[in-house]
Amino acid sequence: MANYVVGISGGSGAPYTRRVIEGLVDAGHDARVVITDAGRRVFEIELGIHLTGDPETDTRTLMERLDPGSGAGSLELFDQRNIAATIASGSYDSAGMVVLPCSMGTLARIANGVSSNLLERAADVMLKERRKLILVPRETPLNLIHLRNMTAVTEAGAIVLPAMPGFYHRPESVGDLVDMIAGRVLDTLGVESTLLRRWQGSDD
């Protein structure tokens, strides 16, 4: 099974992050997680899960609070200041990375090669190694700087996958909407999951 890096920055969207991490571990993959200070703040506001910034404590907390089914994968958090972590190197064998949610600040720094923390460095590594990098922004409305930065990361090889659920599957709950985005993220990473419902067409 593969290693996937999950970067969590301070945008809104922690419920998506939870489902993607659960999906990776459930599929037997190893999730390598790095979260910014703002990411920890929003994670607690949105999920009520307090992360301290200490990677060992936070790995345990996520293992207890998330529900990765009967998955055989693993979960490990890294300190965002630890630029000597494995995921900071292009020699680390990773199948891809998702930044979920991707704040406009983190987007701007990735778009401009500013590796000021481990998340941004890991994203920069994905681009230089031509590996899959998915950025999931959640911001509205967008200004010209946001749009230009999305263009720049796309030109550099990243995939911008906005957290914009559709309604054509007739979602019945917030959970359905969350799973639609989490399923698209996992599918784009190349990870099998039960979250994605593929469109079967319509006779309406």
Of residues 45 and 72, the one with the C-beta less far from ligand FMN: 45
The footprint of ligand FMN on residues 115-144 (CB under 6 A) is: 138-139
Segment contacting ligand FMN by CB under 6 A, of 24-32, 65-73, 97-105, 181-189: 97-105
The nearer residue to ligand FMN, 11 or 15, going by C-beta atoms, is 11
Q: Is 136 exposed, middle or buried (0-12, 13-18, 19+ CB in 10 A)?
A: buried
Q: How far is the CB of 18 from ligand FMN (least distance, A)?
A: 16
Binding-site member from 103, 149, 150, 195 for ligand FMN (CB under 6 A)? 103
41, 81, 128, 197: which one contacts ligand FMN (CB under 6 A)? Answer: 41
- Between residues 68 and 101, which has the closer beta carbon with respect to ligand FMN? 101
Tokens 């993220």 belong to 185
- If phi > 0 it is left, if psi is from -120 to 50 it is alpha, else beta; for residue 53 that is left
- How far is the CA of 184 from the CAs of 23, 25, 90, 148, in angstroms? 11, 16, 26, 24
Query: Under rule CB under 6 A, how many of the chain's residues touch ligand FMN?
Result: 16
From candidates 5, 6, 9, 62, binder to ligand FMN by CB under 6 A: 9
Asked if residue 162 binds ligand FMN (CB under 6 A), the reply is no
Contacts with ligand FMN in 45-84 (CB under 6 A)?
A: 45
Q: What residue has token string 């292009």?
A: 90
- Contacts to ligand FMN from residues 163-192, by CB under 6 A: none
Q: Which residues bind ligand FMN (CB under 6 A)?
A: 9-12, 36, 38-39, 41-42, 45, 103-106, 138-139
